[in-house]
Structure formats: structure tokens, C-alpha cells
């Protein structure tokens, strides 16, 4: 059967012209990747146009650079401990040395690796779970939704930090993987709830009904029709999750849970408070990692101001009241 047969008869209102079209017609490629790239760059431009977000991006990039190029930036190794103990800041040791005789500045630089890594991996994983759970939960109706509701509420009402401590204590000597696991396990529920409510509002739109009429299945509708409409919310939820993951990791390490021999900002705080750094006058030992944690978390929060503008043009800076 040739293609031309399928053409409808010309009708009154449509002009009766049929361009010659045979089986050998060249079919151009659909414009998929190009347009999604354009959307991405437009989104990046929107974030960049927000002053707060710009500061956040610069800060974050600085930390990421610090993490990547740590061996080049740090003057010594992270656990190189041949130096004098509890030395005050000096030309050779900018931030002084620890009770174990390690260079504090080098530890800060190497500690960025853990925080950035945990932040992004745990943030990504808990967002992933939040997206899968939240979207399906928002789309389906009936008893399964009630079951999910129960589980999410359960995770939400249990206080996070104690739960993390219990789980972490249970899974001893797991190191970084264990911390990521614990952070993800306790961090996905909030995002899932937010994404679910947005999904419910989108599923009421006509184009979802239209997709059902077009014969699309539930999974296709959720991930091809609904998901793209929530990119900004998901991005925001990712930065939120990453922030709380960074804070949780520092908290857990500070409490001495996990591997205390790994050099991270949290474990630096742990050792600093163990060696009574404040009493010995070495405030930098507490101050430097604390400030870094705060700055990294702040940078992500600042970026989220720009992400808000993605979905709501009114939140873009300078666009009127």
C-alpha cells in the first residue's frame, strides 16, 4: 500500500492540493535533542539571571573545584601527621595543625570531596526515589495510594536524626556508603509528598485525559507527560535534598558515627571537639569546617532561589511586583 492512498479526500474547507509524496520521501529526524538542549540552556540562563542564585552558583563551583583539584591545592596530604601538635596558624600551616599533628587547611580541602560527593549522590538518589514514589503516588488512585500514604507518613513523622543514628549504629563500619544509604532512606519522603501534590494537580489537566485517549499507558503518562512539567520542582527538590544530605552527613560524622578516620568536615569537627580545641584556643579547628558546611549548604539554597524562577516567572528578579 502506498502512502498516497491514505490521504483523505479533499473537502470543502481544506484546499484540495496534495503535494506529491511517495515512499521514497526523505523523512527528516525529529527535533528532540536540539530542543531539549535549548530548554536546558534557557533554564540555566534564568537561574544565572537571579543575583542570589548567581552567588550560589559561584560558591558551589568553587567548592566543586576545591574537591576536584584537592591534591593540587592542598599543601599536604589529608592524614599526613608528622607535624607539630596543636600548632597555631602559621605560614606553613595556614589554619594550624590538629591534636594528631595533621595540617588543618589540607583537611578542609580534602574534606570538601566527601561533602560534595555525599551531597550530590545522596541528593540525587533521594530525589530519584522521591520522583518515582511521588509521581506514581500522585497518579494512581485506590488502595495502593493509601498504602504509600501510610509508608510516607511513617517516614515523615519519625524524627530524622535519631532514626539515622539508630540505623547507622545498626549498620556498623559501613563508611561513606552507609552514610549515603542512611541519608537517602530518611530524606526522600518530604520530596515525594511535594511532588505528589503537584502530580495530582497536573493529572487533572486535559492533556492527561487526552493521553489516555491516545492509548498511552500509566507509566508513559507519568514519565513522559507529567514528569517534564515538573522539572523545576524536581530540580528544586534535588538541591533541597542535597543540602539536607550535606548537613546530615556532617551531623553523623560529628557524632562519630561512620568511619571517623575518613577526613570530612564532620569528622574534623568530631576530632576538634574531642581534643577540646576551643579550650586550647584553636577556634579555627571548629570554625573552618563549620563555616564550609554552612557555605556549601547556603550555596545550594541560594541556587534554589533561581530555580523558583524557572516555574514561576513572577519570582524572577525585577519582573515587577
Partner 1 sequence: MSLLEVNGLSVVYEPRGAEPTYAVRKASFSLERGEFVGLVGESGSGKSTLGFAVTRLAKAPARISEGTILFDGRDIASMEEEELRKQRRGGFAMVLQSGMNALNPVRSIRKHFGDIFAAHGHVPKTKRLARAYDLLEKVELPRTVLDRFPGELSGGMRQRVSIALALSLEPQLMVFDEPTTALDVLVQHAVMGTIRDLQKSENFTALLISHDLGIVLESTSRVMVMSEGVIVEDGTSQQILQAPQHQYTQMLLGHYADPRAEVVQVPGLVVRGSTISTTGHSSVVAAVSPERGETATGTPSAPARRRAGRPEASAIVVDGVTKVYPRPRRGQDAVTAVDGVSFTLEQGQSMALVGASGSGKSTLAKLVTGIERPTSGTIHFGEARVDTLRRKGLRGLRREVQMVFQDPYSALNPLHTVEYALMRPVLNYTGLHGGAARTRVLELLETVGLTPVEQFAAKLPHELSGGQRQRVVIARALACDPQVIIADEPVSMLDVSLRAGVLALLDDLRVTFGVSMLYITHDLLSARLVTDQIMVLNQGRVVESGLTAQVLRFPEDPYTMELLDAIPQPHRAGARR
In the complex, the residues that contact partner 1 under the rule CB under 8 A are 3, 5-9, 11-15, 18, 21, 25, 27-28, 30-31, 35, 39, 49, 205-207, 209-216, 224-225, 228-229, 316, 318-321
H or E segment to which residue 139 belongs = helix 104-139
Alpha carbons 292 and 243: distance in angstroms, whole number? 13
User: Which is nearer to partner 1, 3 or 278 (by Cβ)?
Assistant: 3
CB of 27 within 8 A of CB of 276? no
Nearer Cβ to partner 1 (8/82): 8
Q: Which is nearer to partner 1, 36 or 92 (CB)?
A: 36
- The residue (of 14 and 172) whose beta carbon lies closer to partner 1 is 14
Cα–Cα distance measured from residue 265 to residue 270, given in angstroms and rounded to the nearest whole number:
9
Can you read off the three cell numbers belonging to residue 273? Answer: 571537639
Residues contacting 2, CB < 8 A, separation 6+: 22, 23
Residue with Cβ nearer partner 1 (114 or 135):
135
Residues 152 and 136 sit within 8 Å (Cβ to Cβ) = no
C-beta of 3: minimal distance to partner 1 in Å? Answer: 5
The DSSP string of 54-113 is: HHHHHHHHHHHHHHHTHHHH-SS-TT---S-TTPPP-SSSTT-B-TTS-BHHHHHHHHHH
Q: Which is nearer to partner 1, 45 or 157 (CB)?
A: 45
| Least gap, CB of 239 to partner 1 (angstroms) | 21
Please state, in angstroms and rounded to a whole number, the distance separating the CA atoms of residues 125 and 244.
13
Least separation in angstroms between CB 20 and partner 1? 13
Whichever of 91 and 318 has its CB closer to partner 1, that residue is 318
Least distance in angstroms from the C-beta of 11 to partner 1: 4
Give the shortest CB-145-to-partner 1 separation in angstroms. 17
Give φ, ψ of 52 to 5 degrees.
-60, -45
Q: Residue 109 Cβ, how far from partner 1 at the closest point, in Å?
A: 38
CB of 226 to partner 1, least distance (A): 9
Q: Which residues pair with 103 in a beta bridge?
A: 97
**Residue 294 CB, nearest distance to partner 1 (Å)?**
32
Query: With respect to partner 1, which residue has the nearer C-beta, 24 or 261?
Result: 24
Q: How far is the CB of 206 from partner 1 (least distance, A)?
A: 4
**Residues 96/99/103/104 CA torsion (nearest 10 deg):** -70
**Can you tell me the distance from the alpha carbon of 83 to that of 37, in angstroms, rounded to the nearest whole number?**
51
Q: Which is nearer to partner 1, 211 or 293 (CB)?
A: 211
Please report, for residues 71, 84, 93, 295, the alpha-carbon distance to residue 104 in angstroms, rounded to integers and kept in the order given. Answer: 14, 12, 7, 18
Q: What is the DSSP string of 214-234?
A: TT--HHHIIIIIIGGGGHHHH
Cα first-last separation, the chain? 60
Amino acid at each position: 500500500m502506498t502512502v498516497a492512498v491514505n490521504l483523505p479526500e479533499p473537502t470543502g474547507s481544506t484546499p484540495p492540493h496534495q503535494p506529491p509524496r511517495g515512499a521514497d520521501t526523505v523523512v527528516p529526524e525529529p527535533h528532540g535533542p536540539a530542543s531539549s538542549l535549548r530548554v536546558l540552556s534557557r533554564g540555566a540562563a534564568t537561574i544565572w539571571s537571579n543575583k542570589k542564585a548567581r552567588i550560589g552558583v559561584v560558591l558551589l563551583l568553587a567548592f566543586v573545584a576545591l574537591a576536584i583539584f584537592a591534591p593540587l591545592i592542598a599543601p599536604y596530604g589529608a592524614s599526613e601527621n608528622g607535624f607539630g601538635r596543636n600548632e597555631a596558624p602559621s605560614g606553613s600551616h595556614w589554619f594550624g595543625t590538629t591534636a594528631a599533628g595533621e595540617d588543618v587547611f589540607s583537611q578542609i580541602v580534602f574534606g570538601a570531596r566527601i561533602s560534595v560527593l555525599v551531597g550530590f549522590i545522596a541528593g540525587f538518589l533521594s530525589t530519584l526515589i522521591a520522583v518515582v514514589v511521588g509521581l506514581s503516588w500522585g497518579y494512581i488512585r485506590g488502595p495502593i495510594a493509601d498504602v504509600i500514604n501510610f509508608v510516607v507518613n511513617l517516614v515523615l513523622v519519625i524524627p530524622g536524626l535519631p532514626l539515622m543514628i539508630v540505623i547507622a549504629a545498626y549498620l556498623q563500619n559501613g563508611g561513606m556508603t552507609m552514610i549515603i544509604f542512611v541519608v537517602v532512606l530518611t530524606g526522600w519522603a518530604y520530596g515525594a509528598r511535594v511532588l505528589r501534590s503537584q502530580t495530582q494537580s497536573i493529572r487533572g489537566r486535559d492533556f492527561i485525559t487526552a493521553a489516555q485517549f491516545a492509548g498511552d499507558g500509566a507509566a508513559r503518562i507519568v514519565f513522559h507527560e507529567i514528569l517534564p512539567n515538573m522539572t523545576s520542582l524536581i530540580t528544586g527538590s534535588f538541591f533541597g535534598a542535597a543540602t539536607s544530605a550535606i548537613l546530615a552527613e556532617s551531623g553523623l560524622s560529628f557524632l562519630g558515627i561512620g568511619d571517623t578516620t575518613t577526613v570530612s568536615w564532620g569528622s574534623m569537627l568530631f576530632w576538634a571537639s574531642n581534643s577540646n580545641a576551643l579550650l586550647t584556643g584553636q577556634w579555627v579547628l571548629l570554625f573552618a569546617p563549620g563555616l564550609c558546611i554552612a557555605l556549601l549548604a547556603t550555596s545550594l539554597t541560594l541556587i534554589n532561589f533561581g530555580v523558583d524562577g524557572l516555574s514561576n516567572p513572577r519570582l524572577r528578579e525585577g519582573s515587577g511586583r
